[in-house]
Amino acid sequence: MFMAQSPETLGVGVAADVMLPRIARVRGLRLDGPETWTLDVEDEGNAGSFVPGQFNMMTAFGVGEVPISFSGDPSNADCVTHTVRAVGHVSAALTRLEPGDVLGLRGPFGTGWPMAEMAGRDVVIIAGGLGLAPLRPVLYHLLAQRDRYGNVALLYGTRSPEDVLYHQELRSWGGRSDLEVDMTVDHATTTWHGHVGVVTTLVPHATFDPINAIALVCGPEIMMRFAIGALRDAGVADEAIYLSMERNMKCAVGFCGHCQFGPLFVCRDGPVFRYDRVRTLLGVKEL
């Protein structure tokens, strides 16, 4: 049953603030994959105020708005970064912006990755396709304070080598001795010399202590379901697995009901959930 909140539940002041976009300006953008652009946006007074895993509502004026996760360095106080794939009218309009153009931002919204809980523990990051974008701020944070964490492994899978995001950073990260990077593609070309297969096949080969590990998963939902299974088979507890459920978000405040997931709203209660909290919901077919 639809369980949207009323404006009174949200609070008059809160509703007034979060429903109005603030004006921001594109500082720069670059192509980071097929039809995928990363935008650096000047967001005066709000840059550096997000938690990895949260999202902004981005407005292409005259077209509409879409929820897009933060994908930049959370310590950067000069601008915010979002990686956008052109899959609809709004996202396509955002990728056509040029330096100096204006757009609207609302946020940050949602829950983030469990940054405090990671201290002193091994961290396993599993990303599928564009799911690497919401996890990139986590990597920036972990590498900036590397001595606070145990083993860190990034397991990344895409459909093809052409779909790999952030080529330069992946090469740089792969050259570090304190970060394990393993990649795979579903379909290889003659120039690909890495793994071929689904990303879950990388889990048994990653270096981590399942008793002391936290796992972060983001990607297509079918991929996340299998990744959870692989992590559980490796001995990672359900309460140590977190996933980002970025599905059907529209208003960002749990009002419109588009992202209702059982008794939860992804935009308000997520998008990051601890697996044991949504375990039974994920098991419901077509929910």
Residue 32 maps to which CATH number? 2.40.30.10
Domain assignment of residue 75, given as a range: 20-108
Is the domain of 217 the same as that of 201?
yes
Q: Are 74 and 139 in contact (CB under 8 A)?
A: no
Is the domain of 137 the same as that of 37?
no
Report angle CA 66, 67, 72 to the nearest 5 degrees.
125
Is the domain of 124 the same as that of 225?
yes
Which among 64, 121, 53 is positioned nearest to 94, based on CA atoms?
64
Is the domain of 155 the same as that of 258?
yes
Is the domain of 190 the same as that of 98?
no
Is the domain of 47 the same as that of 103?
yes
Read off the pTM.
0.91
What is the SS3 assignment for 248?
coil
Q: Which of 65, 89, 108 is the last residue of a domain?
A: 108
Is the domain of 141 the same as that of 99?
no
287 residues of the chain, pLDDT tens digit each: 334 444 344 343 444 467 788 999 999 999 998 999 999 999 877 777 899 999 999 999 999 999 999 999 999 988 999 999 999 999 999 999 999 999 999 999 999 999 999 999 999 999 999 999 999 999 999 999 999 999 999 999 999 999 999 999 999 999 999 999 999 999 988 888 889 999 999 999 999 999 999 999 999 999 999 999 999 999 999 999 999 988 788 888 888 889 898 899 999 999 999 999 999 988 776 66
Is the domain of 60 the same as that of 186?
no
Is the domain of 42 the same as that of 137?
no
Is the domain of 179 the same as that of 261?
yes
Helices 221-234 and 275-282 cross at an angle (nearest 10°) of: 120
| Rg of the chain over all Cα atoms, to the nearest angstrom | 19
Pair of tokens at residue 18: 């979060």
Is the domain of 252 the same as that of 270?
yes
The answer for 32, left when phi > 0, alpha when psi is -120 to 50, beta otherwise, is: alpha
Cα 55 to the chain's mean position, in Å?
Answer: 8
- Within a domain: residue 2? no
